[in-house]
Amino acid sequence: MNGHMKQLIFGAGCVLFLVQESTSASSFSIGGRVGFNLANVSLEEENEFQTSAGGIYAGVFADCVLAPFFSIVPEIAYSMKGVQWVYDRENTNGDMISETDASRVSYLEIPLHLVFSLPKKKWLIRPYLYGGPSVAFFLGAQKQVTLDGTQIYSGPKNESARNVDFGIGFGGGGIIALGPGDIRIDVRYTMGLLTVDAGADEDVKNSVFTFSAGYSVPLCKAKN
């Protein structure tokens, strides 16, 4: 069994454990969400050529309501992070060209958030805020280089990546009742706590904004 498969099994086990431990919640729902990341890395020294890279975010979650205003939400997701550098330089003919060097890193990410939300009956769009830790397991990395929009190189970049990253996330959103469940619109920022490039001369930490939309359905509701 390879390392990536072990990470997937471990991640799924963590979420199942959290769900099992939350069966005493007053209500319980499950759902899924999809969206995109605006990912970057924080460096000790600023780099004027550095810019954000886009990536996919998709996952499933459980919402375990523990009190009228509080719930705990474990999640397991595929999250693409990374960074890109954009340079303007002259070619051999003296013309200015744009070179983009992008690195995109795929993770299996497991956030665990504590959520504060307002009462259901008083809001058409029920706002909520949340925060909590996350652990992310490295799945693979890809490097792409383009010149004026034409790709000239694409290949794996796994040699110095760390296998695990820890982070702290916080964000907010809105819940809209629709049909048997709820639509969830969400914005999140996740700050990496560990350097993710073992070969770098300075700390390289993930810094990611996630924008997503999802839907959840209740499996059990609080008894009146």
153-168 pLDDT tens trace = 888 877 778 899 999 9
- What pLDDT score was predicted for residue 186? 96
What are the structural domain ranges in the chain? 3-220
- What is the per-residue pLDDT across 117-154, written as a single tens digit (0 to 9) for each? 987 766 788 999 999 999 999 999 998 888 877 888 88
Backbone angles phi, psi at 159, to 5 degrees: -65, -35
Write down the pTM of the prediction: 0.81
- Six token digits for residue 205: 């930490």
| pLDDT recorded at residue 14 | 55
Residue with the bigger pLDDT between 57 and 94: it is 57
- Are 81 and 104 in contact by the 8 Å Cβ rule? The answer is yes
Q: Select from 80, 85, 77 the least CA-distant residue to 49.
A: 85
Mark residue 161 as left, alpha or beta (left: phi above 0; alpha: psi -120 to 50; beta: remaining): beta
Helix (H) or strand (E) holding 187: strand 181-192
Architecture of domain 3-220: Beta Barrel (2.40)
What is the per-residue pLDDT across 6-21, written as a single tens digit (0 to 9) for each?
Answer: 555 555 555 555 445 4
The CA distance from 204 to 198, in Å, is 9
Residue 67: per-residue pLDDT: 83
- pLDDT > 80? residue 92: no
pLDDT tens digits for range 104-114:
999 999 999 99
Give the pLDDT of residue 22: 44
Q: What is residue 153's predicted lDDT score, i.e. its pLDDT?
A: 82
Task: Say how many C-beta atoms besides its own lie within 10 A of residue 158's C-beta.
Answer: 13
Q: How far apart are CA 154 and CA 103, in angstroms?
A: 10
